[in-house]
Structure 1
C-alpha cells in the first residue's frame, strides 16, 4: 500500500535527501573536509572560517601578531587542501587540528622514526629467544579477503603522541597490545611513556626511536606496565620502574617480516597486528581525512605506525593503519593505505620494515 506524504513530510524528506547527497560529495561537504566553496570566496569569509576552526579545536595564541601569522599559514594549507581535493579521486583532505602548522613544523613535531637507511639490515637482526625460523608465518596459505583486528578486539582506542616524536613507542605498544590480547584474551592498554623514559640504550624518547629496539627492551626487561600505572605525559621524564608494585605485560621477543615482500606482510597481518614504518613526510599526510590513500610519498622511512588489518573497496585494496595523531585525524585516527601497487617496497615504503612481537602461551 502506498502512503501519501504531507507537504511538511515532503520537506523533511527533501532536506534529508539533499543532506545525504551533500555528504556523498566528499571534497565539497563542509562536515567532512571542514570548509565549503563559499568559504574561499573572500578574505573575510576565510577569516570567519579560521575563527570557527579556532573554536572547534580550542586554539589560542599569545598575541595578535601570532594569530595573523597563523592565519596566513592556515590560508596556505586550505589552498593546498582544496586544490588537492579537486585532483585526487580515491581519498580526500580536510581541515584538522594541524591546519595552522607549516609542513616543516608538522614534520618536526609529529614524525619520530630514527633510522640509518644504510644500516637497515643490521638493525633488523632478530632477537627472539626461539630462532628456528626467521619468519614465523612463512607457510601461511589461503589468506582471507579481509582482516580487521579492531573487530576482533585486539586494538585499543587511538592514542595521541602530541608534539613528542614518540611514534616509535606507539607503534611498538600497539603491536604488543595486539599479541597480548590474542594470546591471553585480555585487551590491556600499555605504557608508551615507559619506553620513552626507560628505553635509552638505542632509542631517544621524544627525539625518535625504532620499534625493533623497543621490542628487544620489553623482552629483556620484564615487560611493560599498563597505561594507567605509567600514564603518558607527552614529554620525556625520569624512568620510574616499580615492577613489584604493578602488573606488567611480557613478550618473548620479536620477528622481522621479510623486507619488501607484501605477501609476507599480509601473512603476518592475518595472525596479529604489526609494527610498520612509513614515509609520512608528504604534505597530504598532514591533512588526510578519508578514503584509500594512494597519493605521492617517498620511501625514506620517518614514521612508526601499526598495521591492524587489510581489505578492499570498489576494487581498491588497502592496509588499515592505526596512527598516533589522535582520533580527530584521518578516519577516526586511522588511514587506509593502498596496497598492491606493483612496487616491492609498497606505498610509502610500508613493506620495508615491518615487525611483530612474539608471546608464548
Structure 2
C-alpha cells in the first residue's frame, strides 16, 4: 500500500438512504416531559424510527438532551443553525463512534502522506467566489447509507468534477465500484481518497453509476462492470498540508477531496449557515469542497458537498468557515486535501450499455 494518512470511517445505524426532512419544534415543546414525549413520538413517526419498549425510555432521555442542545444553540448569536434531524436520539458518543476512525493509528502504521506535484501552485488572481455547482460540475447529493464509504463519495465527486471541466459532460460515476473493487481500502469499513484515485488511474478508469449502482454494502467485485470504464484520469495530486491558501487555489480550478473531523454535536445537527462550531482534527469523514465565497457580513466559507443525503444541512451541503487562525483549517479541512488530474478530454470511446454486460 502507498504510504499516506489513512482514515477509517465506520458507519453504523446513523445514515439511512432517503432520510426524511427534519421536523420543527418550539420552546413550548420543551416545557414538560409530556410535551417532549409527544415531540419524540412525532419525530420517530416522521423519520420512521422504531424502538422497542425497553429502549424507548433510554432513547427518549438522549432525545431530550439533543433537543435542548439544538434549542440552546439556535438561540445564540451564531452564524449557523441546527435542526432536529435523523440523528435525534443518538448520543454524540454514539455519533462519533458511528463515524469514528483510528486515524492516528493508521498514520503511525503507514507514515506521512506522500508528496506530489501541486499543479495549481502558480494560480493567481483568484476569483472572490467559486461554485462548481453553478458550472455544472457537481452531481446531485448522494447518500452513503449504512456503509462507511465516504472516501468513495469524496473521490467520485472529484473525478466527476474534473471530467466535466475537461469534457463538458457531467457523468454520475460509481462509488460501488470503489467499495467492491479497490483493494487498498476497506469498502464499507473505510478508506482514503489517494488510494482510490490511484486505483482509478491504474484500472484504466471508473464506470458509470447507472452501470454499477450503489448498494450501501460490501459486495464481490463485478469484474465485467469494473472493466467497462467511462471516465479516465491520469492520477492525483495532494494539496500542501495545512495551507488554506493552497486549498483555495486548488478549489478555484476544480472540486477537491478533503478529510474533516465531523464528530461534533453541532456538526451532527447542522442545518444552515456558515459553520463555525467546535471541532477538532480527528479526521473521520471524507467530503468534497466544491466552492468558496464570502457572506454579506464578511464571513469567509468553503462550500462542502456531503454524502448524507439531501435532507441534511443545506440540501446536503455545509458551508464551513474559511481562513481561520489555525493553519489546519476548521475541523482539519486543510490537512488532507487531494484532487484528480486529467490532462485531456479523452475518455473510453464507447459507453457500454447494461445489456452488453
The match for 2:282 is 300
C-alpha spacing 1:338/1:121, structure 2 compared with 1 (3 Å): farther
Q: Which 5+ residue runs of structure 2 have no aligned equivalent? A: 1-20, 345-357
Sort the Cα spacing of 1:276 and 1:245 in 2 relative to 1 into closer, same or farther, 3 A: closer
The total of aligned residue pairs comes to: 322
Please state if 1:70 is matched with 2:62. no
Larger Rg: 1
Structure 2 residue aligned with 1:26: none
Query: What is the aligned counterpart of 2:138 among 138, 143, 155?
Result: 155
Matched with 1:10 is: none
Distance 2:180 2:318 in 1: 28
User: SS of the residue aligned with 2:273?
Assistant: strand
Q: Which runs of 4+ in 1 moved over 6 A?
A: none
Q: CA deviation at 1:163?
A: 2.2
1:35 to 25, 28, 49: 25
Q: Could you tell me how far apart the structure 2 residues matched to 1:107 and 1:48 are? A: 27
Unaligned runs of 5+ residues in structure 1 are 1-30, 127-133
RMSD of equivalent CA atoms: 2.0
Alpha-carbon deviation of 1:78? 1.0
8 Å contact 1:113–1:209 — kept in the other structure?
no
Question: Is 1:283 aligned to residue 272 of structure 2?
Answer: no
Q: What do residues 291-322 of structure 1 show as CA deviations (whole Å, max 9, x unaligned)?
A: 10111111121111000000011110000000
Question: 1:147-296 residue pairs with structure 2 within 5 A?
Answer: 147-201=130-184, 203-243=185-225, 246-296=228-278
Contact 2:259–2:335 at 8 Å: present in 1 too? yes
Deviation string, structure 1 residues 110-161 (Cα, Å, up to 9, x no partner): 45685634578643344xxxxxxx1001111111110000111000111111
SS of the residue aligned with 1:139? Answer: coil
1:64-143 to 2 correspondences below 5 Å: 64-111=53-100, 114=103, 116-118=106-108, 122-126=112-116, 134-143=117-126
Contact 2:207 2:226 in 1 (8 A): no
What is the distance in 1 between the residues matched to 2:159 and 2:103? 20
Cα deviation 1:172-222 (Å, max 9, x = unaligned): 111111101111111111111111111122x11111101001101111012
Structure 1 position 279, deviation (Å)? 1.1
Q: In structure 2, do the counterparts of structure 1 residues 304 and 88 end up closer, same or farther at CA, with 3 Å as the change threshold?
A: farther
- How far apart, CA to CA, are the structure 1 residues paired with 2:332 and 2:150? 16
